[in-house]
Amino acid sequence: MVDAPPALKVYLAGPLFSQAERSFLTSCARTLREAGFECFVPHEQEKLLSPLTAQGVFALDHDLGLARANAVVAWVDGPTVDDGTACEIGIFWGLMQRGEPWRKGILGLATDDRLRRRNAALEHGGLNLFVAGLIERAGGLCWSLEEVRNRLLVWKGELQGLASTATVPGE
């Protein structure tokens, strides 16, 4: 069993294949870091892998990112959720099933105006309902980075409460 991490660690999931996508995720990470969160951003880790291989990417992102995270923030904009992002959401959901109280949840970040406009007519703006259902069960869908930050702050407070009531074995 892994001991509770000392600070709220966030795995920031999302597509990272264009400069615009990487820039947006980097900007989100900067904002969250300024709010006191530790962020694992997959494209920031690529320099650790040479050569860049599928097995290497999976091991790095899973072992150093998802397995150590308290929460996942998944950027879900676009016509469909990125397949890697959907996989990361599913893996973290599986980790949450272990019942470790320091794994807080999954937040979806939807900033796409198309989703927002369709939200009145379609549940979750037309986001894949299975993915949206998992996100809702595990944390919630947020419509701004500010909303994400505020939800993470609540989880951070809960973790601090866990840490203050934890007992040291042998005491």
Indicate the domain borders of the chain.
9-163
Taking the C-alpha atoms of residue 149 and residue 37, their distance in angstroms, rounded to an integer, is 9
| pLDDT exceeds 60 at position 1 | no
Per-residue pLDDT tens over the stretch 4-29: 446 899 999 999 999 999 999 999 99
CATH number of 9-163: 3.40.50.450
Taking the C-alpha atoms of residue 97 and residue 58, their distance in angstroms, rounded to an integer, is 20
Q: What is the CA radius of gyration of the chain?
A: 16
The residues, any chain, with a CB within 8 Å of residue 76's CB and separated by 6 or more, are: 14, 85, 108, 109, 110, 115, 127, 131, 135, 141
Q: DSSP state, 71? A: E
Q: How confident is the model at residue 170 (pLDDT cuts 50, 70, 90)?
A: very low
Per-residue pLDDT tens over the stretch 121-159: 556 666 888 999 999 999 999 999 999 999 999 999 999
Instruction: Give the residue from 153, 129, 155 showing the smallest Cα distance to 141.
Output: 129
Tokens of 118: 């369709």
Please tell me whether the overall predicted TM-score, pTM, comes out greater than 0.85 for this model. Answer: yes
